Amino acid sequence: MIEPTIRPEYLGAHFLVDPFPRQWPYHFFIITAFNPDGEIVDADENARRNDSLCKALQKLGISFFEIAGCSPDTVHQEPSFGIEGITVDRAREIGRVYQQIAVFEIYGDRLFVVGCALGDRLEAGSFPERLIYPRADALGGRNNPILIEMNSPGINSMMDDRFGKDSWTKTRDFTERDTITDALFCWDIQLYNGCREVVWFKRNYSQPFRGIHISPARRIQ
């Protein structure tokens, strides 16, 4: 029997992370204290609950980092903690203490949703493909190409703003299309946390700018 409280939106969850870590833990859990039992509470109560969870993890000496679960459009967000070095039973216990319906488990590059009550474990797909970068959105949005100066230092500066200085390297570039009116080309970007990105550039020859589109991160096997 599948746990009845695991809602479809859990399986479609995305995650906001900034700054982008150099190395993801191979196995960890994402747990929030927000919105007990799936019911929206006010901001002050959520802040109090989040602070309580943070202090509890510190007291227990558990390694953790900040990350936020969100809807694909980022309208709904729940600040959370990525927690290393615990078992699935301990993760479910923490979730139950903070009245959570489910917790997220990341194993390698796979994302799972684990019910806190019955322990059902449902695979939700690729974790790297669920990552959203706030700095990229601030520059124009994942699906809304931005304009940057055409010179290479401008491109490099934008990449530093997004991924962090000295945290990426270009492994190759290639052209998809080059016509009299526009050009489409891209860079393969190797991140120092084991993931790979493909960054697409489009140039309109009538304007001294290039637009940019960022593809989802994909872990190199």
For residue 168, CA distances in Å to 18, 20, 66, 77 come to 15, 11, 22, 28
Domains and CATH numbers, the chain: 8-131 (no CATH), 138-219 (3.30.200)
Strand partners, 196: 190, 218
Residue-wise pLDDT tens digits, 119-162: 999 999 888 778 776 544 333 333 333 333 334 566 677 677 76
Question: Could you tell me what percent of the chain has a pLDDT over 70?
Answer: 65
Distance of alpha carbon 93 from alpha carbon 163, whole angstroms? 34
The percentage of the chain sitting over the pLDDT mark of 90, rounded to a whole number, equals 39
Position 208 scores a pLDDT of: 38
Q: What CA–CA distance (Å, rounded) separates 104 from 113?
A: 5
**Kindly report the CA angle at 164 between 160 and 168, in degrees rounded to 5?**
75
